[in-house]
Amino acid sequence: MPSRGPLAASKPTTLPKPTMTLLKDFRHIILYGLILAILVFALKWLQWKFLIFDNSIDIYIGLVSVFFTVLGIWIATQIVKPKVETVIVEKEIIVTQPEKFIINETELKKLNLNSREYEILQLLTKGHSNADIAQTLFLSLSTIKTHVSNLYFKLDVKSRTQAIEKAKRLKIIE
Amino acid sequence: MPSRGPLAASKPTTLPKPTMTLLKDFRHIILYGLILAILVFALKWLQWKFLIFDNSIDIYIGLVSVFFTVLGIWIATQIVKPKVETVIVEKEIIVTQPEKFIINETELKKLNLNSREYEILQLLTKGHSNADIAQTLFLSLSTIKTHVSNLYFKLDVKSRTQAIEKAKRLKIIE
DNA sequence: ATGCGTTTGGTACTAAAGTATGAGCAAGTT
DNA sequence: AACTTGCTCATACTTTAGTACCAAACGCAT
């Protein structure tokens, strides 16, 4: 077996490809022709030699039969191209990809945060204070506090640092 | 070609597997024997028929040759298992690895945090309150506050959320 | 219209975080 | 011995965060 990757191969797929027959090229045809010609001469010689013994015609025929049978077999092995089995082996390549952050939509939906709460959560993780967020979103501090409290309830946490930790752990925030 | 993955195949490796021969079972042997017996009778008949015309011995031999050649080929196709070439095609699959965290030692040294401060920073990012940290490290709340304040000074931030954000951004904490 | 959820905002209060300052103590350095 | 540094702890204070409860305005669907 050739060298393979660190991970094992799996799911080998067999693809039978019965490509049949045909002589490879004209050189073979000429070669076969020559062989046959030589055989004709040999047979002629044998014919005359064996005809001296009239009874030996059976032996002669037998030899011819065997010879041509073997010849046929040999020709068959030459003209039949092998089946090709293609085995596809899956080779896994491990790639460390530079932070392709994917938001965990499943978790995010489970938490059922509304748009404001999620917006505030994003600012929260950036280290903004409630007052900052209020200014950014043009809302009163009270509103922010309400949203933040609801956010904590939904996230099942008790402080903004816990909220940040959980949000990042659940990958619902970058 | 069959359907393949998103990535192109590469490095096809050829493994010649010449699996040879042998009759499948005894039934075949008996079958071949019978066929040969029939052939012998046929030949005998042909022999006598053609001997009437003395000159036609060449034609007779020719027919025998052709017949047994074809027979040989046929036998070969029956008894010789096809050669099988196995082509292994490696199909590459990209696997993204979940990114190993590497602490940015350079930044960490620049900040010049002492061991306690770094320890507290770690607990901070996990969402622990000052009281929690005090309990964990068997220190008074005052001590934690002092350390945390010094930490903020060194990190140039004004709150624990900012500290967390900066620490993660600088990759000095997991 | 009525009900529901979202968003907004308020008051009052408690808890926690953060600042400022001072001080004790052990270990190592000059 | 005097000094520095890292770590500890305390007090007093301000600021921010967080909780609880309430309520108005709005959009939307039954």
Exposure class string for B39-52: b at 16+ Cβ within 10 A, else e: eeeebeeeeeebee
If you measure CA to C1', which residue is closest to nucleotide D7?
A: B116
Q: For residue A111, how many other CB atoms are within 10 A of its CB? A: 19
Q: Which of residues 104-143 of B touch A (CB under 8 A)?
A: 124-129
Phi, psi of B24 (to 5 degrees): -70, -45
Q: Per-residue pLDDT for chain B (174 aa), expressed as one digit of tens each?
A: 333 333 333 434 443 433 344 444 555 656 666 777 777 777 777 666 655 555 566 677 777 778 887 887 787 777 766 667 788 887 777 776 666 667 777 878 888 888 888 889 999 999 999 999 999 999 999 999 999 999 999 999 999 999 999 999 988 887
Q: Judge whether B17 and B86 are in contact, CB under 8 Å.
A: yes
CA distance B91 to A91: 6
Give the gap in angstroms from C-alpha A109 to the nearest C-alpha of chain B: 23
Which pTM does this prediction carry? 0.55
Q: What angle do CA B71, B76, B78 make, to 5 degrees?
A: 95
B94 vs A96: CB contact, 8 Å cut-off? Answer: no
Strand C within 7 Å of which CB atoms in B 32-71?
none
